[in-house]
Structure 1
Amino acid sequence: MTSSLDPERCYRAVASRDARFDGWFVTAVATTGIYCRPSCPARTPLPGNVSFYSTAAAAQGAGYRACRRCRPDAVPGSPEWDVRADVVARAMRLIGDGEVERSGVPGLAARLGYSERQLHRLLVGELGVGPLALARAQRAQTARLLLETTDLPVSDVAFAAGFASIRQFNDTVREVFATTPTGLRRTRAAAPLGTPGRLTLRLAARAPYEAAEVLLFLGGHAVPGLEEWDGTTFARVLDLPHGPGVVQLSPAADGGPAVTARLQLTALRDLGTAVARCRRMLDLDADPAAVDGVLGADPALGALVAAAPGRRVPAAPDADELAVRAVLGQQVSVAGARTLTARLLRAAGTPMPEPVGTLTHAFPRPAALADADLAAVGLTGARRRTVHALAEALDSGAVTLDPGADRAEAGRALQAVRGIGPWTAAVVAMRGLGDPDVWLPGDLALRRSLAALGSSDAEAATRWRPWRSYAVMHLWAVAAPLLFSRPPAPTTRPLAPTPDRSAS
C-alpha cells in the first residue's frame, strides 16, 4: 500500500463508488488478485481484503492485474502531479510525456538534476516503484490502445508501444491484463478502424467538464496554418519526437465528461506522448471538486463558479511554443497575436510533408527560430530581439520549459531574458507549464473584471490560492465572454472585450 494514502478515506470512496476519485488511486483486492478504479461497479470488497496504491504501476509491482470490467487505466490521471512542484511530481510529468522512452532513466534523472540512484529512491519511497516500472505501466496502456483501435500486427504494436522485445511485450500484457495480446484484441468493439497511423480515442475527464467551452477558447486563439477551428472541432499540428502529428478534438458524442481525439501520427510510438500533451492542453486531469470548493465559497467568485462549474484552464501542448506566443501577444489583442504568430509560422515554421486541411506547418523549434529572419513578421525591433533571445535561451537550456521543469526556476530564467516581465512569465507558467496557482500581475482584463466584482489584485493574491489560474479563467470570461461558451453569472455585467495584455 502506498504510505501517503489514507485507507479510511479511500475505502469510503470505494464503498460509495465515487468517480471523483478515479485516477487518484487504485484499489487492489487480495482475494481476486486484481486492481480497480474506485468507481468499479463490482461488489465492494471487505476492508480487510483491500490495499490502496497511488499508481497502477505500484499495484502491478505488487502482483495485481488490471480489472477488465472497469479498466482502471482509462481514467483521468491524478491531478496531484500538476499541483505539486517537488521532484516526484516533476518526474511523473516527464514520464507521462514519454521521457523514459526517449532517453531512458539516465536521461530522466539528468533532466531533473538528480542521480539515477537518488531518483529511484525518491520514487520508490513515495510510490513503491521506480521509473522503469512507471514507464512499463504506461507502455502497457499504450499497447492496449493500439490493440483495440488499430489493425497493426501484434509485433508492430509491441515496438510502437515502446517495448524492447516481443517477449517483454507478451509478458507485460499477461501480467497487467491477464490475457494475451491477441486475446485483448478480441475484446475490442467491432468498429471501422480507419487507415494506418490514424486512431480515434476517448479522453476522459472528471465531471463536470464542458468540452465545448475549452475547445472554443482554444479555437478563439487558433493560428492559421498551425490550428483550425470550425465551431465544433479544434484541430492542430503537434510537434512530436518522431515527426509531426495532427489531432482533431471534439466533444464526446455521448455528452459525457470527455473529448474525442482523432490522431494522425507519423510514428505510432509517439501515441503516449501525443495523448499526454492533449490531456495537458485540455486540462483533463484537474480536480474540479477541489477547485470549485475553494473558489465557489468566495463572495466575489461564487456566482461565477456556480454559473460555470468545472471550468478548466486550456493550455498549450508545448511550453516553448506558448512562451514565444506569449511574447508575440504582449500589448496586442487576441486577433493581433494570431496574425503575428501566423506570420512567424510562415517565416520559420516546419512545413508538413503534406498539408492536412488548412494545417500546413509545425511551430518552429527554438534552434530554427533563433536563426530565422523575422523582418517580415511585423514586430518592432525590440520585440524581434526578445523573440531571438528567448529562442536562444530555450535552445541552449538556459531556460527549460519541459513538463518536468522547476516552475519557480523557469519563471526566474524567463524574466532574465530582456523583454520578458512578470506577466509573460506568469502566462507561460499557467498555460505552458500547467501551474494551477498563477496570478497575472497587471493584466488589464482581470483588473476590469475585479473592479466589476468589487475585488482587487491584492485580495486575489491571498484568497484564491491554490487555484488562482482557475480564478483567472472565470474573470477572463467576464471580460471577454465571446471566448467562452457559457455566459458569465447573471449578477455580473459583461465587459467589452479588450486586449488582456500588459507591458512585460
Structure 2
Amino acid sequence: MTPTTWTMLEHPGWELGPAPARALRTPTGTWLIHTRPAYTATLITGTGPAPHRDVHDPAALDALALPAGLHAALRRLGRIQRLRTADLWEALATAIIRQVIRAGQARTMHHALRTAAGQRAGTCALMPTPEQVLALSDAAFAALGMAFKRRPLRAAAEAYLLHRDEWAELPADVLVKALQAVPRIGPWTAGAAVADHTGDFSLYPHADLAVRTWAAKADPATAWPADEGAFAALWRALAGPHLSTLTVLTLAWGDHHAHHRPDPADQGSTAHH
C-alpha cells in the first residue's frame, strides 16, 4: 500500500474546514488548490505548471541520533507535502503578518486582508498585490485591525516593486540577507519568507517559538534548551544535513496538533491528500 501523504496547512493562506483550499499566484497563472476529496490544482487564469509541492519523509531522519520521543512522533506523522508560495511578494507579506502575533491571529488577519483587498480566485481570495497594498488607506488598515502592520507592509511593497527582478536572480541564502535591507524586516521575517517561497526550511528561523514549542510537545521527555541560541545549536547538531526536513516535519507535527486533526497513523482515511 502506498503511504499516505499529508498536506501541511500551517500557511495562513489556507482556508480551513472540511475541504481546505487555497488560492495563489505563480509567475504564469493563478491557481485554486483543494485538498479533498483528493488534491487538485485548478487553473483560474493564465498558463503554466501548477504550484510546486515539496514532499518530506520522516524516513530520511532514521540515520540521525534524534531523541527517541521526537523521532517516534515524526515517524507517526508520516509523509508530508507542503505547497510552496510561488509569489515572493505573498511569502514576504505573509511573514510580516506573522510577526510577533499568534498563529491564529495571523490566520485571521491574513484572511481579512485577502478578502478585503485581494482578487477572488474561485472560492478563495489572493493576497493583494503590492500595488493594492499601497493603495490601502490608513483607515482601511485600521478597519482590518492591521494598523500596526501598515508601515512594514507598505515598506515591503515599495521594496518589492523596486527590487523584484534583482531578488528573483539571487540564491536563497543571499536573498535572506537582501530582504533584511527593507525597513522592519529582520532575520526571522526574511528567513521565514524565503523558506516559504523556496521550500528550503534550512533557511527557516529554526530556533523560533513554534519549532521550540512543537519539539517540546512532541517529545516532553527531552530537556530542550529554553535559550534560543542553545536550542538552535542543538537543533543543527541533531539535524546534520537534514535541517530542512527535521524543521518542516516538526512544524507539520505542530500543524496537526494545533488543529486537532486525527493522528495520521490511525486515521489514514481522513488525510489531506
**TM beyond 0.5:** yes
Note the residue ranges of structure 1 that are not aligned, 5 or more in a row. 1-206, 253-259, 490-504
Query: Which residue, out of 45, 57, 67, partners 1:299?
Result: 67
What's the secondary structure of 2:198's corresponding residue? coil
Letter paired with 2:151: R
Is contact 2:31–2:41 with CA below 8 Å preserved after alignment?
no
Distance 1:328 1:244 in 2: 22
TM-score normalised to the size of structure 1? 0.43
The amino acid across from 1:263 in the alignment is T
State the match for 2:158 in structure 1.
392
- 2:258 is the alignment partner of 1:482: yes
Q: 2:117 aligns with which of 334, 348, 373?
A: 348
User: Which residue does 2:134 correspond to in 1?
Assistant: 370
Number of matched residues? 249
What are the within-5 Å matches in structure 2 for residues 420-439 of structure 1?
A: 420-439=185-204
The residue identity in structure 2 corresponding to 1:342 is H
Local SS of the residue matching 1:266 = strand
Aligned-pair distance for 1:386?
A: 0.9
Please list the CA deviations of residues 411-454 of structure 1 after superposition, one character each: whole Å capped at 9, or x if unmatched. 01122222222222221122222114234254223223445332
1:265 to 34, 44, 58: 44
CA–CA distance in structure 2, aligned partners of residues 414 and 312 of structure 1:
26
Is residue 92–residue 193 contact of structure 2 (8 Å, CA) maintained in 1?
yes
Amino acid at match of 2:183: R
Aligned-residue RMSD, C-alpha: 3.2
Change (3 A) 1:375 1:230: closer
Specify whether residues 481 and 388 from structure 1 end up closer, same or farther in structure 2 by C-alpha distance, changes over 3 A only.
Answer: same
Tell me the secondary structure at the aligned position of residue 199 of structure 2. Answer: coil
Give TM-score scaled by structure 2 length.
0.74
Provide structure 2 residue ranges, at least 5 long, that are not aligned to the other structure.
226-230, 266-273
- For 1:478 and 1:365, locate their aligned partners in 2 and report how far apart those are by CA, in whole Å: 30
Partner amino acid for 1:333?
R
The aligned residue for residue 54 of structure 2 is 283
2:5 matched residue in structure 1: 210
Aligned to 2:22: 236
CA distance in 1 between counterparts of 2:86 and 2:259 reads 19
| More relative contact order, 1 or 2 (CA 8 Å, 6+ apart) | 2
Structure 2 counterpart of 1:261, which letter? T
Give the C-alpha shift of residue 329 in structure 1: 1.2
Do 1:345 and 1:364's aligned partners in 2 also have CA atoms closer than 8 Å? yes
- Paired with 1:484 and 1:405, the residues of 2 have a C-alpha distance of 39
After superposition, give the CA deviation of every residue in 1:54-89 in whole Å (9 maximum; x if it has no partner).
xxxxxxxxxxxxxxxxxxxxxxxxxxxxxxxxxxxx
- Whole-Å Cα distance in 1 between the matches of residues 16 and 4 of structure 2? 20
Judged with a 3 Å threshold, the aligned counterparts in structure 2 of structure 1 residues 244 and 415 are, in CA distance, closer, same or farther, namely: same
Name the residue aligned to 1:443: 208
1:214-257: CA deviation from partner (whole Å, max 9, x where unpaired): 1xx42x6555xxx53432x33222335566443333364xxxxx
CA distance in 1, matches of 2:255, 2:261: 13
Contact 1:439 1:461 in 2 (8 A): no
1:249 correspondence with 2:35: yes
For residue 345 of structure 1, report the CA deviation from its aligned partner: 2.0
Q: Could you tell me the percent identity over the aligned residues? A: 27
Among 181, 202, 208, the residue aligned to 1:416: 181
Counterpart contact for 2:58–2:249, Cα < 8 Å: no
The alignment partner of 1:464 has SS state of: helix
Letter in 2 for 1:304: A
Equivalent position SS for 2:25: strand
Larger Rg, first or second structure (1 or 2): 1
Question: What displacement does 1:483 show?
Answer: 3.6
* Residue-by-residue CA offset, 1:144-170 (whole Å, 9 max, x unaligned): xxxxxxxxxxxxxxxxxxxxxxxxxxx
Counterparts of 1:488 and 1:209 in 2: how far apart (Å)? 8
